[in-house]
Chains A and B, each alone.
Chain A
C-alpha cells in the first residue's frame, strides 16, 4: 500500500529565512505524481508545487522548490525568504492511478 510520511509535526522559521519540510513515501510504482499543498487557518487547500516522478529536474515555483530523490523516495519542500503569510499546515501528497494519498502534515510557524 502506498504511504506518505511527514516526520515533522511542527516547524518554525524566522521571517526572511529558509526552511525545509520533509516528506517520504513508499511505493512500488515508477509512474506517479507528488504534490505539496498548503492549508491556512481558513481550511482552504492550496496547491503549492507539483512534481512528475519521470522528471529528474526538481520543480520550482517562485520561493518554493522541491528536492526530489526518487531512489530514496524523498520529496522535501524548501521555502526561501519565508513570509508571515507562509504560516500554515503543509501536506505532502502522492497520486498514482488516481488514488491521492496525503501525509500527516507539518505545521509551519513564521516568526517576525
Chain B
C-alpha cells in the first residue's frame, strides 16, 4: 500500500512564485489535513477537509489555498510564496466517523522560499 503520498519532496521557490503541493491517499479516508512544521512550533494545521468538495481553515491558513475535488487528493496552493512560508509541509488522512483512528502521514515536503 502506498498510504499517503506527497509530491514533490523538495522544492525551492523564489519570492512571489506560485506552486501546488499534491497529497494523494489510497485508503478511502474522508478526512485530510495539511500541516506545516517549524522548529519550536510543532505541527500547525493550515487547512483540512472532512470530505470531497469540502475544506475548512485551520490555525494558520493565511497565504494558502486548498482544494479537494477528488476524495483521494488534497491540494495545497501557494499563490505568491514568501520567505515566511519556508517550512516542512505534511499531509495526513484519517477515517471518517472514527475519531480515535490514527492519522496517516506523508513523508513531508521541504519547501524553501528565497
Measured CB to CB, the residues of A under 8 A from B are 6, 9, 32-33, 35, 43-45, 47, 50, 52, 91, 93, 95-105
Q: Does B33 contact A (CB under 8 A)?
A: yes
Q: Does B31 contact A (CB under 8 A)?
A: yes
**Cβ of A33: which chain B residues have Cβ within 8 Å of it?**
99-100
| 5 pairs from A and B in contact (CB 8 Å cutoff) | A43-B88, A95-B99, A97-B99, A100-B92, A104-B42
Q: A45-B90, A98-B99, A100-B48 are in contact. Are A6 and B42 (CB under 8 A)?
A: yes
Q: Does B105 contact A (CB under 8 A)?
A: yes
Q: A91-B43, A98-B31 are in contact. Are A35 and B102 (CB under 8 A)?
A: yes
Identify which of A9, A43, A52 contacts B40 (C-beta below 8 A). Answer: A9
Task: Give Cα distance in the complex from A9 to B107, angstroms.
Answer: 23
Task: Give Cα distance in the complex from A43 to B87, angstroms.
Answer: 13
Q: Interface residues of B, CB < 8 Å — how many?
A: 26
Chain A facing B: main interface SS? strand
A-B complex: 7 closest residue pairs judged by Cβ atoms: A104-B42, A45-B105, A102-B43, A47-B102, A105-B42, A33-B99, A33-B100
Q: Is the CB of A100 within 8 A of B40?
A: no
